[in-house]
Structure 1
């Protein structure tokens, strides 16, 4: 998987317009299109893509801690926003896109630094204009660290240029 290093590395909108959301997410997972730069910055990657389900794998390091040395809530939020919204993306038709309208997270416990986690997003509903999904962050043993929910707006993909 490669990450966009500059705007020139981002996916071509005309190419994306011809793909369903599921095809788009699969192309990122398979390395045919670049992963978003934020994934590299926060040390997470797309791991599983299925119709209505997406899993990111990540490991928080010292660079994502708050002043007390624990994993910052923004790291949890970013991973949950990513997995939930990308799960919605898997249900979107060609020529459309989404953006998060709102999301909520509940952190149930701190993630120990260096612990590999899995952030899973699952769709509850996708219609013509909105998508709703839930998410969880767990470790390999299944221990729950956070839950979330999101509502996304679905809209036409803007014209290039």
Structure 2
């Protein structure tokens, strides 16, 4: 079961991150060995599944993530899609390297009703020595309704 970092000291040191592959890093967050980022707790989502080239988060938007009109803020969609797509890229990052998002794009297709459990799926399209490209979607867990799609480009950096 994933747990969330409560302070910067809870996060894995970069020197330790560089000793494992991106897939091992993501699996350690999923099994609770290493803590996940605090943003997941703040935004109401958690890592649900990790495979080579694929990551799934699950969450349920509540009132605290709405805009002034009372609907789910676009930033919530973007945060989930960025997390899932970039973490999918991370599963392909080799030991000694890290990554970060260069750009991402989202398309919101329909409003997610508050209290609806969703899953956000990130799948890689390509990960090479210096770039990773992935796509993602947000779907309702119960009925599969497609709420949003996205795409990302990440930079992969060899540090060790």
Normalised by the shorter chain, which TM-score bucket? over 0.9
Give matches, 1:125-140, under 5 Å: 125-140=126-141
Match of 2:8 in 1: 7
CA distance in 2, matches of 1:95, 1:85: 17
Q: Which sections of structure 1, spanning at least 5 residues, go unmatched?
A: none
Output the CA distance in 2 between the equivalents of 1:86 and 1:25.
7
Q: TM-score, normalised by structure 2?
A: 0.97
The match for 1:83 is 84
Partner of 2:155: 153
Shift of 1:12: 2.2
Secondary structure at 1:46 match in 2 = strand
* CA–CA distance in structure 2, aligned partners of residues 122 and 157 of structure 1: 24
Aligned counterparts, 1:57-68, within 5 A: 57-68=58-69
| Uncovered stretches (5+) of structure 2, i.e. residues with no partner | none
CA distance in 2, matches of 1:3, 1:47: 13
Show the counterpart of 1:42: 43
More divergent stretch after superposition (7-16 vs 108-117): 7-16
Deviation per CA, 1:89-131: give whole Å up to 9, x if none: 0001001111100000000000000100000000000010000
Secondary structure of the corresponding residue to residue 144 of structure 2: coil
**Cα deviation 1:58-83 (Å, max 9, x = unaligned):** 01010000000000000000000000
Q: What displacement does 1:14 show?
A: 2.1
- 2:137 is paired with a residue whose SS is strand
User: How many residues were matched structurally?
Assistant: 158
TM-score (norm 1): 0.96
SS class of match (1:24): helix
